[in-house]
Amino acid sequence: MPTTATTPATSLSAKTIGSTDEIEREVKVVIATTYALGTPDSPVVFEGIMHEQPDATREEIFNLWELFPESLGIKDWEKYRDTLVDISAINDGPGTSFRYQIGAMMAGIRLVAHLKRRPGISVPLKEEELVPALRGASMIEQLKRCF
C-alpha cells in the first residue's frame, strides 16, 4: 500500500515492499572500488562500509550475468558466458570451493557493451568472434585491476 510523505516544497510517494529483513534477503548491492578501503588519497571514503568479500559463488556469478545479456543482445551466448565464468574462477587449491571474481565478469560484460558502441563494428556481434577477445590485450588490461 503506497504511503505519502509531504515536505513544504515537494510531495513524495513511496511503496512499502516489506520489512528490512525481507529486503536484505532479496536485494544485493555490489560496490566495486579500485582503491583499498582505507587508502588515504582515495576520492571516496569506504571505511564505514563493511567489506564483505571481493568475489562471488558460482550461482551468484551466473545471477550477475543474467542481468545483462538481453539488453546487450547476447542472450544465447553460452560459450562466451562459460568462458568468462572460467576466467573469473579462483581456485585456492585442493579441498576448497572455487570463488569467482566479480570484476572479471563485469570486464567481459563491459567488453561487449564497448564494442557495440564502437564505430565500424558490425552489429549484431558474433559470439564466435568475441570469445577469443576474452583472452585478448584489452581484456587482459582490465583484469590487471581485478586480481
Chain centroid offset of residue 51 CA? 16
- Taking only the tens place, the pLDDT of each residue in 28-50 is 555 554 445 555 565 555 555 55
Strand order, beta sheet including 89-90:
55-56, 99-101, 89-90
pLDDT for the residue 131:
95
Query: pTM for the complete prediction?
Result: 0.64
- Taking only the tens place, the pLDDT of each residue in 51-99 is 556 678 999 999 999 999 998 999 999 999 999 999 999 999 999 999 9
pLDDT for the residue 1:
46
- Asked if 37 and 50 touch (Cβ cutoff 8 Å), the reply is no
pLDDT for the residue 4:
44
